[in-house]
Structure 1
Amino acid sequence: MAVAAGAVLAVLGVAVAQAGGTGGTDEPERSPAAQQPRELRLPPAGAGFDYQIGGGYELPEGVEVISRDREDDPAPDAYNICYVNAFQVQPGEQDDWDADLILRDGNGDPVIDGGWDEPLLDISTADKRARVAEKVGDWFDGCAADGFDAVEPDNYDSFLRSAGLTTQEHALELMKLLAGRAHAAGLAIAQKNTLELAPHREEIGLDFAVVEECGQWEECGDFTEWFGDRVYVIEYEAAGMAWACDNFGDTLGIVQRDEYAVPADHPDHFRAVCPRP
């Protein structure tokens, strides 16, 4: 959805802390993150979660982990995940990309994710993947400089909407580059959705999962098989929320949001959490 690790860690020499929290109050200025190594922290397992990628607002009671757009500010006193659209182009930003990095069909027209009106990125060659990773990696560096703790690269599953022009292997190869870049910046990195690629999490270097509607599709347990209790769930429908809460409400961070995850002062805002005894 778009709105608005082990081997890799060993190679990069990044320390992993098992508890959440921010890295301090004095954040570095934007510059290549590899020159400013910092401790990599994983989000606290099973913690209260909120999804604010449509606009930040004050943390609700009980929230320890939060996802916000890369152009938003991180929240104080929380584990902050930086949302980045890494495999598709935000509406209105196509001109920010080299023309040959936009995936095109046989007629030369951009391949569009119709649900969100987003052109897909062309990740079909090693050269193009490297160039995409460099641009997205610069965004990761910005997330680190701003004080985020992790990144959430969205649309890992864009190959499913590519009319066969990109593949699972292309997605895995790009995500491997992105995981290395995130860890070099001292950031944990999430797998977003894309259950079919979860078995590759260790070889790619993914640290946790952010999952939409695993309750709706009764798949939350499949994600916990690979990521344990570090699965952070967003539901949009009451039925999916009920299933997720009934089966994983005591172990996972689960929130129900409105479709665009808009701020609390927006008339379409909706947020609910699992009932607690």
Structure 2
Amino acid sequence: MRVVCYISGGSYEAWRPDAGQFPASALGRNLDGWPDERWLDIREISPRSPLARIMTARIDMCRTKGFDAVEFDNVDGYVNQTGFPLTAADQLAYNRFLADTAHARGLSTVMKNDIDQIDDLVDYFDMALNEECSRYNECGRYQTFIAAGKPVFHAEYGSSTAFCAADNAANINGVLFSLDLDDSAYRPCR
């Protein structure tokens, strides 16, 4: 069994213990549907920048607590309305920083959702996770990870496991969950 540590790498969450460490200038627009969560300005990630220090401390916490891997969420700000002029190059540099920092601490890395940069990031991440790639017709984009011998995990939310046949055929590890993640639905495809 492997245990994965969740980190929102691209957003500020008001309820986290380190929320007070983020400079106001790094906080952008709210994420759609998440009123207490704001996009981060990821353009400055030098080793001494506040964002680099905060994320490194989070990754260190994962290692200290005995996790095996880190899942980085919200690492696709450049394709969202963040309030900052983020570019694809900014996002690549930031995502690579996160992966390199975790690897330097002996942790595996999980790339979550940044489908437009899969080809550029497959060498930096050990596995991938997508939410609702079946619903949005994105699962085929993960063949780069599968061809590299890296696992792909897929979470669908709803009431039907109709996506399972396609996931199984594509060697994707799909699971149906309830949107509330409250254990009311948990149906692995295989």
TM range (shorter): 0.7 to 0.9
1:114 match: 32
2:69 to 150, 153, 172: 150
Deviation at 1:219, TM superposition (A): 2.0
Instruction: State TM-score, norm by structure 2.
Output: 0.85
CA contact (8 A) 1:234 1:256 kept: yes
Deviation at 1:126, TM superposition (A): 4.5
Cα RMSD for the two superposed structures: 2.3
Determine the C-alpha separation between the residues in 2 that align with 1:208 and 1:273. 18
Deviation at 1:92, TM superposition (A): 3.3
Unmatched 5+ stretches in structure 1: 1-77, 104-110
Q: Are 2:15 and 1:92 aligned?
A: yes
1:230 match: 151
- AA aligned to 1:116 is W
2:130 match: 211
Aligned residues: 183
Determine the C-alpha separation between the residues in 1 that align with 2:24 and 2:146. 36
Unmatched 5+ stretches in structure 2: none
- AA aligned to 2:132 is E
Deviation at 1:242, TM superposition (A): 1.4
Task: Report the structure number with the largest CA radius of gyration.
Answer: 1
User: CA 1:135–1:83 in 2, change beyond 3 Å: closer, same or farther?
Assistant: same
Q: Deviations over 1:128-152 (max 9, x none)?
A: 9943122112111111121111100
Q: Are 2:116 and 1:191 aligned?
A: no
Instruction: State TM-score, norm by structure 1.
Output: 0.60
CA contact (8 A) 1:258 1:271 kept: yes
2:188 match: 273
2:97 match: 177
User: CA 1:142–1:185 in 2, change beyond 3 Å: closer, same or farther?
Assistant: same
Question: Using CA pairs below 8 Å that are at least 6 residues apart, which structure has the higher relative contact order?
Answer: 1
* Stretch of structure 1 that moved more, 245-254 or 153-162: 245-254
Bigger strand fraction: 2
- AA aligned to 1:273 is P
User: CA 1:92–1:127 in 2, change beyond 3 Å: closer, same or farther?
Assistant: same
Deviation at 1:178, TM superposition (A): 0.9
CA contact (8 A) 1:122 1:128 kept: no
Determine the C-alpha separation between the residues in 2 that align with 1:126 and 1:88. 14
Deviation at 1:227, TM superposition (A): 4.0
CA contact (8 A) 2:45 2:52 kept: no
Q: Sequence identity, in percent?
A: 27
